[in-house]
Structure 1
Amino acid sequence: MSAADIRAVTIERVAAYLRERGYGFAPTPAGLAGNWDGHHLWFLLQGSRADVLQVRGRAVSAVPVRDRVAVLRALNDWNRGRVWPKVYLRAEGDQAAEHVLYAELSTDVRHGATDAQLAAQLGTSLVAVTAALEDLAPALGAAPPR
């Protein structure tokens, strides 16, 4: 590996990775989005210099507000026992009557990455985010999508 192999991480490079593997996705104003294992995922470059690569997943099932505390306990256990991905609930819907589970993995890419490094990060993020959503589906009272 030489310094010439390290390039800026861009949404176009992320799209090329997804396209090469035959994954379906669409551009969004913020990045890219697609469905993996029944979950909606986004691929974003965050931060003031777009130097944080984030893969964010959203569970299919929503959590009624009455179940929020029990689900938050399960999410706290998850976050306490693992370094990544981060999992959390976000209020959505009319008058925040429901909460939705999100999982995300963020990586500092300010110094760029080789194609192999970017592929490894994206592959790891896809597996980790979808696995977290599936592992936590029972806490939501839902079966993992298939």
Structure 2
Amino acid sequence: METTTEHEPAHLPTPEIGPLTRERIEEFLTANEWTFGVDPDGDVGGQWDDHYFYFFRMGEAREVLQVRGQWKHALPLGREQELYRVLNDLNRDLVWPKLYVRTEDDTLVVYSEVSTDLEHGASDDQLGQLLACGLFTALKAFEGLDHLMGIVADA
């Protein structure tokens, strides 16, 4: 006796995909009860563990999400080679974030970046995951940078 079984794939609800907007970024931060502000340019930012973070929308249509952090420490000029070596090692070993140094006011300042093109939109869960990834991978990298650069945590 021959039997056939038709198998219908389960129809899972499709999460609503929406464009990258400042309001959606703010909704995620608010839902997590995180303190943030909006600067005069309309960029969302705040502080986590005394590090500054911004959640930028970039690109022609502001479709690229960039989570940019600034390490809370600044190093004196003269430690460039040591810092470049450490950042190169971290960039080689970590998937996220990208880390780089800028010279500002005669000091060395380290930034982190995680950028994602959301030209086709993202669900709320996807956007939340990207925001959290940019934030928490940077915090972990900054913690490692503290250790590697010999910076003792404030007591």
Scaled by the length of structure 2, the TM-score of the pair is: 0.85
- Specify the SS of the correspondent of 2:139: helix
**Distance change (3 Å), C-alpha of 1:114 and 1:37:** same
1:23 matched to 2:34: yes
Say what the alpha-carbon RMSD is for the aligned residues: 1.7
The correspondence for 2:141, drawn from 132, 135, 138, is 132
- 1:37-92 C-alpha deviation (Å, 9 max, x unpaired): 12111110111221110111101110111111101100001111222210010111
**Distance change (3 Å), C-alpha of 1:25 and 1:110:** same
**Distance change (3 Å), C-alpha of 1:48 and 1:54:** same
- Distance in structure 2 (CA, Å) of the matches to 1:144 and 1:87: 20
- Distance in structure 1 (CA, Å) of the matches to 2:70 and 2:17: 31
1:1-146 superposed matches below 5 A: 1-2=13-14, 5-28=16-39, 29-93=41-105, 97-144=106-153
- Specify the SS of the correspondent of 2:34: coil
Displacement over 4 Å in runs of 4+: none
- Taking only the aligned residue pairs, the percentage that are identical comes to 36
Scaled by the length of structure 1, the TM-score of the pair is: 0.90
Q: Which has the larger radius of gyration?
A: 2
Q: Which runs of 5+ in 2 are unaligned?
A: 1-12
- Specify the SS of the correspondent of 2:78: helix
Q: Which runs of 5+ in 1 are unaligned?
A: none
**Larger helix proportion of the pair:** 1
The answer (yes or no) to whether the contact 2:80–2:108 under 8 Å persists in 1 is: yes
